[in-house]
Structure 1
Amino acid sequence: MRAHFRSDVPIVWQGRHRPAEDPFRASTAPPPGASMSIRDHDLRISPTLSVNPPRRARRAATALIAATGLVLAGCTSTGEAGTGSSAAGQGVDVSAAVAAVKEASAVPAFQLQAPPVDMTKIAGKKVYVIPLSSQIPYVTAVDAEIKSVVEQHGATYLEFPNSGQPTEWAAGITQAIAQQADVIILSQGPDPKLLVPQLQQAKEAGIPVVLSHLYQVGEELPSEVDGLIAATTNVDFAEAGRLMADAAIARSGGAVNALIITSTEVAPSQSISDAVQATLKERCPDTCKATVENVPVADWATRLSSTTQTALQRDPDINWVIPLYDSMSLGVISGITSAGKTTGVDVASYNGTPDILKLIQDGGPMKVDVGESTAWLGRAAADQAFRLLAGQEPIAGGDVKTPLRIFTPDNVGEAGTPPQATLGYGDAYSSGYDALWTSGQ
């Protein structure tokens, strides 16, 4: 999941003014002595985390992404995990963490095993895409890949641009019906529970709907939309949490005192945070622990630095800060610097945003980022749509096996210099889907 700020919103630095930019991009560091606030910001949350099947049997609680209408609660909570009488004598399992990190650091393989799709039945069809928001670059990158493969196979790509409002998604479905679309893709997580009347109309019109990147692998569709969604592409948000914890354990020799910074109003946060803590408790119960601080997304610009600084001053032994989403990382790093902890405290996060991968390349506290491929996500969504258009069964349960990859100083160069969203994941997704998309002979 990513937090995105609209590009037309001014960012105000105390005593100075700059054109609107993403407040967490590396290029928007404040002038010396300035502090940052965001005025009249418009927050968009994009569920963009697609992961491969869990590498361990333990599965954290399922997570449902709230695509819009997030209530930005302002409370801060703390908690600890990883110590207690039940942990005594269990030792430290660094080797398992090292193995997990090694596996997830490699260029991912194409693991989807599914029947081939007869692509001769795709030509001439209309694929209508309704994105979560056309203002989110990550979402538009996914949709660009959908467009590419749809047109490559002779179908027509149509899209309903929008700013992420449920009323716009509803209008998009209505427009798709009017244009006699053959399949609709709700791309990157529009909430179908807000679209039940329109989804019923699409079903009555005989138009199947694919929902991408909203639900946890293994999670059933909500009862409100069961029977209205023909196929999904699902993810395992908790795996990112497990991998962040494993990376910290592996790089610290099993001695982790972590500060986890969450945003509890974002639905997957609980699952990810729980997975980090559970992994620390499982791997190193006697030598690892975690404290959790909540910073609502609306407060990222103003509170991430101070929350991090205060926590480090309260507990000087903290050696890892784990903000759950990597757009939080610049604020966290600012707090680390303000606390005078420029060495001895490392950062691990999740998303693989190119600007944050650049921080790994530059050196400093940023050491781990768990990323994903927009091109892979786009092909996964298109594949489900193609199966429906060909009159075939979609992949059951939406388990399309899109992977994560851990980036560290050891392999971040493979993401490009500077990093690019389309690099670092190899090309197995391209050859893998091409092999599934056949001529029908």
Structure 2
Amino acid sequence: MTKRIPGRGRGHLAICLGLGAAILALMQTGARAADPQAVIDRAIENVKKFAGPQTTWDGPTSAPPLAKGKSIVFLSGDEQNDISHLYGVYMKNAADKMGWKLTVIDGHGSPTSWLAGLNQAIALKPDGIVMFADAASLQDPMRTAAAQGIAMVGLHAAATPGPHPEINLFYNIQQDTVAIGQAEADWVIADSKGKGRVVILSHNEYAIAATKSGATRDRIKECTGCAVLDYVNSPASEAAQRQPQLTTSWVQRFGLPLYATSVGDNDWDFAVPVLRSAGVKPDEVKLVAADGNRSAYDRIRQGKSYQLVTVSEPIELQAFQALDELNRAFNKAPPSGYVQSPYLVTPQNVNAEGGDKNAFFPSNGYKEHYFKLWGVEAK
């Protein structure tokens, strides 16, 4: 933005200089975008960075006093999804040590069920609600909850991490959504040496999924030797019914080799059996996804089950952060602002950072840090 300078002559000169700089920047950007090797080199560097050790604590170092005796409800997006289920398990373990009561309500994987579950949660008159569901689709009951003074924190509940007062969320917790989508794409670009043929699967009933898959698509399009063959939006709750036929259609329509990316690992639970029964070799279809489900870790570790990458979320860390953000809300303090960087799980590091337990447990001492912030003894 050009700084305003008093005087017509100097103002005109400043505008011209500003336009010249902008044109030069656009030319340089275009040159970089047109350089196929630069896109590949960037992808290789990003894969190396996001797959590295997670030893540094860059979360909050101060917090308000722990509010006493609070009652919390966790609206689980779908208890059949192991990520959603584990959020509740980890929150309950931490809440017990904090002297808080936590109740879990199953959202059964659809917006209609989330709505019923959230109304049930509000009827319990809790002090706070944590939701692993799309907040934008739940605004009527969320406005009711806000009017009753119930603090609300999201887990993957909006398109981006951070405060979302416009949808009544004190804070939304997740890794950087765009960075996750780009990390998936970067792995494809690096692995294919800039020649990946890619199909992209999303579940756009979640705002986070639309943003994540859009970032994957846009990044792949920056690779001039790559191709986005298909972008599919399919309901997450119908993966078991839709994914087998979808997988078959991709192979029949586009041939092999093929890369497939998804916003969630759960989809590949239903793709792998189809690929096996069709006699597709593991190196002919390479599956990439996000979340860090146990089944994804198993597939990556086996090496012959098609999936080679997941962008794993630190579920226990995020469960602790959800309670920490609620405590800040109870104390009328601002949110922490903490956003954890993406972590790529690959065959090379599958047993690191908690991978031997089929989950992402960063080795940055997060539990000790949070217990210390709350003045709670970690046992």
TM over 0.5: yes
| 1:245–1:279 CA contact under 8 A, matched in 2 | yes
Counterpart of 2:362 in 1: which secondary structure?
Answer: coil
- Any residues of structure 2 matched to 1:14-53 within 5 Å, and which? none
CA distance in structure 1 between the partners assigned to 2:310 and 2:216 by the alignment: 14
8 A contact 2:74–2:129 mirrored in 1: yes
Is residue 407 of structure 1 aligned with residue 354 of structure 2?
Answer: no
Q: Secondary structure at the match of 1:158?
A: strand
1:234 Cα offset (Å):
5.2
Cα shift at 1:281: 3.3
Q: Distance in 2 between matches of 1:263 and 1:235?
A: 17
Q: How far apart are 1:357 and its partner, in Å?
A: 1.3
Q: Secondary structure at the match of 1:118?
A: coil
Aligned partner of 1:349 in structure 2 is 289
How many Å separate the matches in 2 of 1:414 and 1:236?
21
2:41 maps to which residue? 95
Q: 1:88 to 1:392 in 2, by over 3 A?
A: closer
How far is 1:205 from its partner?
4.2
Matched residue count? 335
User: 1:127 corresponds to which residue?
Assistant: 72
Equivalent in the alignment of 2:85: 140
Structure 1, unmatched stretches of 5+, are: 1-84
Is the Cα–Cα contact under 8 Å of residues 310 and 344 in structure 2 kept in the other structure?
Answer: yes
Instruction: Deviation per CA, 1:309-349: give whole Å up to 9, x if none.
Output: 21343xx4x44222332222244344544264443442222
- CA RMSD, 1 decimal: 3.3
Q: Distance in 2 between matches of 1:295 and 1:190?
A: 16
Contact kept? 1:117, 1:386, Cα under 8 Å: yes
Whether the aligned pair in 2 keeps the contact of 1:209 and 1:231 (CA below 8 Å) is yes
Q: Distance in 2 between matches of 1:135 and 1:173?
A: 23
Shift in alpha-carbon separation, 1:89–1:210, aligned structure 2, 3 A: closer
Q: TM-score, normalised by structure 1?
A: 0.66
Contact 1:373/1:425, CA 8 A, preserved across alignment: yes
1:196 corresponds in structure 2 to 140
1:369 maps to amino acid = T
Partner of 2:242: 300
The correspondence of residues 350-389 of structure 1 with structure 2, limited to 5 A, is 350-364=290-304, 365-389=306-330
- Work out the CA distance in 2 between the residues paired with 1:257 and 1:204: 50
1:226-265, Cα deviation, whole Å (9 max, x unpaired): xx54444355323222111111222233332223234455
- In the alignment, which residue of structure 1 is the partner of 2:52? 106
Higher helix fraction (1 or 2): 2
Q: CA deviation at 1:424?
A: 4.5
> For the Cα contact (< 8 Å) 2:300–2:350, is it kept in 1?
yes
The 3-state SS of whatever aligns with 2:333 is coil
Q: Check if 1:311 corresponds to 2:250.
A: no
Distance in 1 of aligned mates of 2:82 and 2:233: 24
Whether 2:363 is the aligned partner of 1:426: answer yes
Note the C-alpha offset of 1:143.
2.0
Q: CA deviation at 1:191?
A: 3.2
SS in 1 for 2:335: coil
1:382-415 Cα distance to aligned partner (Å, 9 max, x none):
01111123342223xxx43134311111011236
What does residue range 225-374 of structure 1 map to in structure 2 within 5 Å? 225=167, 228-233=168-173, 235-264=175-204, 266-282=206-222, 284-285=223-224, 287-294=225-232, 296-297=234-235, 298=238, 299-313=241-255, 316=256, 318-337=257-276, 338=278, 340-364=280-304, 365-374=306-315
Q: Which of the residues 130, 133, 157 maps onto 2:101?
A: 157
Q: Distance in 1 between matches of 2:73 and 2:206?
A: 28
Aligned equivalent of 2:3 = none
Identify the residue that residue 33 of structure 1 maps to in structure 2.
none
8 Å contact kept, 1:134–1:163: yes
Report if the CA contact (8 A) 2:61-2:369 is conserved: no
CA distance in 1, matches of 2:291, 2:136: 24
Q: Percent identity?
A: 18
Shift of 1:277: 2.7
How far off is 1:90 after superposition?
4.8
Identify the structure with bigger relative contact order (alpha carbons < 8 Å, sequence gap 6+): 1
Q: Retained in 2: the 8 A contact 1:216–1:234? A: no
Q: What SS does the corresponding residue of 1:425 show, helix, strand or coil?
A: coil
Task: Work out whether residues 173 and 199 of structure 1, in 8 Å CA contact, stay in contact via their aligned partners in 2.
Answer: no
Partners of 1:361 and 1:114 in 2: how far apart?
Answer: 35
